[in-house]
Amino acid sequence: MIKSEAKRLGFLSCGISKADFLEEEAPRLEKWLKNNMHGEMHYMENHFDKRLDPRKLVEGSKSVVSMLLNYYPENTQEDPEAPRISKYAYGTDYHFVIKDKLKQLLQFIQEEIGEVNGRAFVDSAPVLDKAWAAKSGLGWIGKNANLLSKQVGSFFFIAELVIDLDLACDTPVTDHCGSCTACIDACPTQAIVEPYVVDGSKCISYFTIELKNEIPQDVRGKFDNWMFGCDVCQDVCPWNRFSKPHNEPLFNPHPDLLSMTKKDWEEITEDVFRKVFKKSAVKRTKFSGLKRNIDFLK
């Protein structure tokens, strides 16, 4: 019943796992933090125990309901010379779009089943989204540390409801990366330091979104023309041959976005920025941040 309602709300798929301590992830996360792979994302160090145990986040929680929402666009930026934006940021900020759907799903569960308490999460809380999605059988964690699915690739958002309702769990799927190293070979900044491990502090997404200071000079010329985020490790992944365009109107880009030329971007004004990215996730980097990124590509 929950899964069919999730589908009706537009989610690609929905899987369920038991709200429990993430035993395998604990040492992995600890090592990743210890090796400073989170760079200046200091928030990653907070709430270590909550990140690994949803019962510490939501009192009495019993199940984690994970969902995927497709964002693969029908069309991409037209000018091959133009600075590039990660596909996930083309339309309305996904936090708003997904939060709304999750609230509807929780309401549905409460109406159908009775008093069920829980919280909705969209990558803005200490929740290891990919680990839960993998546990729920929605895909496997690939060598680029993204969740991959045989059916739909990896151009999707992950979100979850953590609820105090006991539900039947799904089983994880097997890894289908095989001997492929396409993502590792293609990463412009060699951020995939070993299969399944991404050094966040070397990732183009980190430099263009998370890093608030100046971008270090030693990565100049390595950004492959990305000004906000980066899709390289997903674009080269063979499983993304199966990506199909989303049907979420809110994820459609502002009419001007895809047609902007290299010159348009280099001369962008704050007014244009505000108009094109009115409700977009790109607002996170602010006009000054995007301008810094565009200048860094010159």
Question: Which residues are catalytic, by number?
Answer: 123
- C-alpha 161/C-alpha 147 separation (Å) is 18
C-beta atoms surrounding 274 within 10 Å = 11
